[in-house]
Every structure is written in C-alpha cells, then in structure tokens.
C-alpha cells in the first residue's frame, strides 16, 4: 500500500525522482565527556570535542522511487562493499525512528553504502562519524526535494539533531574544529537537542591541534556505550560527576578561548580518568583500559615533565589513547611515539590525526 499520509515532507508523486547523495564525516574526540543520558538521547551533562580529520566515514545513499510497500522501509546496506546484518538492523531501526522527521524515507528504495578510513577492527568507535555521515545524507535529500535546509545553520542544526538520535557523540561531528553539545548557560544557543560550533571562540594555539591515536587493542569493546550510559542511571557518584562535568566544561571553554595549554592538559587528563573511574565504580563494574594504556599514560607524563611540551592524553570508552598536542610540537612528539610508544601499540599501529574542517559533501 502506498503511503497516504499528507505530512509536510511527503514528496508528491509528480516530483519523485531517483538520485544519490554522499557525505564524508569525521570522528571527534571529547575533551569533556558525555557519559550518562536520559529521555530521547539527551545528555546528562554538556560535552566539548575536537573534530578530527583523518578518521572519517564516507556514506552514499542511492534513492529510487519505491515499488514494493511490504515492509515499513526498503533499505539495503553495505559496509566496505559487504553485507553486515547487525549494522543493517541498527540502521533500519534508526531510520524507522526518523520517519516522522523525514517522511519521504518511506517513499524510496534506499541503498546505503558506507566505508571508514580506519580499519573496522582498529578499536576506533565509528558511531560518531558513521551516524553523522548518514544524518547529513538525509538532510541533503530533504533539501533536494523541499529546499527546507538552504541556510547553512538550519542544515547543520537538523543534521546534528538527527545524528544525535543515532549516537549522542555524533551530533558534535557536524562542525569544523570544535563543538559543544548540551544545555549550559556558558554558550549562547547551547542545547540538548543538537551541538553548536565553538570555532569562533577557539584561540589560535588550538588551530590544527594534533591527535595521535595509539591503538592499544583492536578487540571489540566488552561493553557497548549504550550499556555504559545506562549504568550511570544508578551510579553512586552520578550527581557529583554531573556537577564536576559542568565545572570542567566552564574551565575547558576558558582554556580554549584563552589558549591556556597548561590548564587544558590537566583538565583533559582528569576528564579521561574520571570517565574510566566511573566505569570501574559502576555496578556491575568494568575495566576497559589495558596495562599498555597505563604504560603509555606514564610515559607521556614523564615526557611532558622532561621536555615541557604541553602534550596530554585522553581516552574514549576503550583502551586506545589519544595524544593531544600543538602542531608546533608535531615532529618531536612523533619521534617520541616512534621511539617509545609504538611498543605498547597493537602491532605498532597508531593513526596521525588532527583537528579538521568538518564534514564534506562529495558530488
Ligand atoms: O555517542 P556514544 O553513545 O557512543 O557515547 C560516547 C561516549 C564517549 O565517547 C565516552 C564520550 C563522548 O563524549 O564522546
């Protein structure tokens, strides 16, 4: 049965056509972490991240008018040219949840092709880049048929909100350089619904900030981030954490604005440690860092003390280590990584990344 609903984003039969859209969207690394959520993917505390560059997902959606309405949606999904039933199910559920905002999804056969710039088994979470790339494609299709997202800000806001519904952290990947997500009086326009750009307040010291991602383990995570967020609901330290995250956010914004690298280093490391301390003190508790994660952390602290280079580490919900440092220290730090840290990485693997310019639409 063809859809009879006359909601605003239903394409009239006479305007239906086939086409294709592609977006490349980067990953991001949180400085102040989002950990704990409520309602429809709203964060318990505001978070701030740097947008990356080398770690990205490229997604293409080919759409053509649908002939068969047996299922709610008609999608096919391939990752790196191969079917992936678990991913496909997750994407299908996500898209079904979005029909009320993108009514036209029901009107097409959607063929979704996606690939990551980093290996699937690298231990790098692909949900931020993957969900943001997909959300951007949906917004482009909407704009193609309805011209509702012609202004850059309207486009990005809807893309960010849509990405958030797929994976909270994905909403921050929509913006160049740095982004903030979550309600806070500290930034105008900040919202739980979508992220906002921090580009205009970034001190020049942070431009092209480097991120070396040290791949300590390539194993799949033992706990999904959804389950991890869930454990914050009854966490004994939850309210203290949320208060502290708000204070750290204020502090992070001051550092980013004034180029206070010394304070930035302490803050990033404290946030990373607190994220993992929350995991280690939840019920059930879990431990995601590995002995080599700690070996790297200690080597980085010694290197910073010896050289005075303002390098710091941060962690995602996993064992891999992100090293953040100014571009002017790139050569020295890369030598340090190659001399001292690669031994702690799985098969010596690490990824050179840096703050990036945000998503790119491919034609
Ligand atoms: O977006 P999710 O649900 O995968 O959660 C991400 C959580 C952290 O990466 C640990 C922190 C963050 O703010 O990105």
Q: In angstroms, what is the span from residue 30 Cα to ligand 1's centroid?
A: 8
Residue 81 has pLDDT above 80, yes or no: yes
Provide, rounded to the nearest whole percent, the portion of the chain with pLDDT above 70.
97
Residue 121 has pLDDT above 80, yes or no: no
CATH number (3.40.50.1220, 1.10.1660.10, 3.40.50.300, 3.30.230.10) of 6-202 reads 3.30.230.10
Residue 125 has pLDDT above 80, yes or no: no
| The ligand 1 atom nearest the CA atom of 37 | 3
Residue 314 has pLDDT above 50, yes or no: yes
Continuous H helices in the chain = 85-97, 127-146, 152-166, 225-230, 238-258, 261-280, 291-307, 330-336
The C-alpha atoms of residue 191 and residue 180 are separated, in whole angstroms, by 9
Residues near ligand 1 with C-beta < 6 Å?
A: 30, 33-35, 47, 125, 127, 167-169, 225, 275, 316-317
| The ligand 1 atom nearest the CA atom of 127 | 4
Q: In angstroms, what is the span from residue 110 Cα to ligand 1's centroid?
A: 28
pLDDT at res. 4: 43
Q: In angstroms, what is the span from residue 3 Cα to ligand 1's centroid?
A: 36
Q: In angstroms, what is the span from residue 197 Cα to ligand 1's centroid?
A: 18
Q: What is the mean pLDDT of residues 27-43?
A: 97
Q: Which residue is associated with the tokens 């994407």?
A: 91
What Cα–Cα distance (Å) separates residue 262 from each residue in 127, 168, 255, 275, 312? 31, 29, 9, 21, 10
Closest CA to 241 of 266, 275, 272: 275
| The ligand 1 atom nearest the CA atom of 47 | 13
Q: Whose CA is nearest to atom 9 of ligand 1?
A: 316
pLDDT at res. 123: 65
What Cα–Cα distance (Å) separates residue 46 from each residue in 49, 248, 267, 289, 316? 10, 10, 15, 24, 16
Provide, rounded to the nearest whole percent, the portion of the chain with pLDDT above 90.
89
Q: Whose CA is nearest to atom 4 of ligand 1?
A: 225
Q: What is the mean pLDDT of residues 239-247?
A: 98
Each residue's pLDDT tens digit, 174-228: 999 999 999 999 999 999 999 999 999 999 999 999 999 999 998 777 778 889 9
The C-alpha atoms of residue 344 and residue 354 are separated, in whole angstroms, by 21
| The ligand 1 atom nearest the CA atom of 32 | 13
Contact 104, 141 (CB under 8 A): yes
pLDDT at res. 122: 64
What is the helix (H) or strand (E) element at residue 126, kind and residue range? none
pLDDT bin (cut points 50, 70, 90) of residue 235 is very high
| The ligand 1 atom nearest the CA atom of 317 | 10
Q: In angstroms, what is the span from residue 280 Cα to ligand 1's centroid?
A: 16
pTM of structure? 0.95
pLDDT at res. 7: 53
Domain boundaries, the chain: 6-202, 206-354
The C-alpha atoms of residue 309 and residue 295 are separated, in whole angstroms, by 19
Q: In angstroms, what is the span from residue 47 Cα to ligand 1's centroid?
A: 9
CATH for 206-354 is 3.30.70.890
Q: In angstroms, what is the span from residue 236 Cα to ligand 1's centroid?
A: 20
Q: For residue 223, what are the contacts with CB-CB under 8 A and spacing of at least 6? A: 279, 286, 288, 317
The C-alpha atoms of residue 254 and residue 232 are separated, in whole angstroms, by 27
């Amino acid at each position: 049965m063809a859809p009879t609903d006359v909601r605003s984003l239903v394409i009239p039969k006479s305007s239906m056509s086939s086409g294709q859209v592609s977006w490349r969207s980067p990953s991001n690394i949180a400085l102040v972490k989002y950990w704990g959520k409520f309602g429809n993917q709203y964060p318990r505390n505001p978070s701030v991240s740097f947008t990356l560059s080398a770690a990205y997902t490229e997604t293409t959606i080919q759409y053509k008018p649908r002939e068969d309405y047996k299922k709610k949606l008609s999608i096919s999904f391939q990752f790196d040219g191969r079917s992936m039933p678990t991913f496909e199910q997750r994407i299908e559920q996500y898209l079904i949840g979005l029909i009320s905002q993108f009514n036209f999804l029901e009107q097409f056969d959607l063929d979704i092709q996606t690939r990551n710039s980093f290996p699937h088994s690298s231990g790098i979470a692909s949900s931020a880049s993957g969900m943001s790339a997909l959300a951007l494609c949906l917004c482009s299709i909407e704009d193609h048929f309805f011209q509702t997202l012609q202004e850059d800000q309207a486009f990005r806001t809807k893309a960010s909100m849509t990405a958030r519904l797929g994976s909270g952290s994905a909403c921050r990947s929509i913006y160049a350089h740095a982004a903030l997500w979550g309600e806070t009086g500290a930034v105008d326009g900040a919202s739980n619904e979508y992220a906002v750009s921090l580009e205009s307040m970034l001190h020049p010291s942070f431009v092209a900030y480097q991120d070396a991602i040290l791949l300590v383990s390539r194993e799949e995570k033992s706990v999904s981030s959804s389950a991890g967020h869930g454990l914050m609901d009854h966490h004994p330290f939850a309210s203290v954490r949320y208060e502290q995250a708000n204070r750290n956010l204020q502090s992070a914004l001051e550092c980013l604005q004034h180029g206070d690298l010394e304070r930035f280093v302490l803050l990033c490391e404290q946030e990373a440690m607190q994220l993992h301390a929350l995991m280690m003190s939840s019920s059930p508790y879990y431990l995601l860092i590995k002995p080599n994660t700690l070996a790297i952390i200690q080597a980085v602290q010694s290197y910073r003390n010896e050289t005075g280079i303002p390098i710091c580490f941060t962690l995602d919900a996993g064992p891999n280590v992100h090293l953040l440092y100014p571009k002017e220290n790139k050569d020295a730090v890369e030598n340090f990584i190659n001399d001292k840290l690669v031994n702690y990485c799985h098969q010596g693997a690490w990824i050179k990344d840096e703050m990036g310019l945000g998503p790119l639409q491919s034609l």
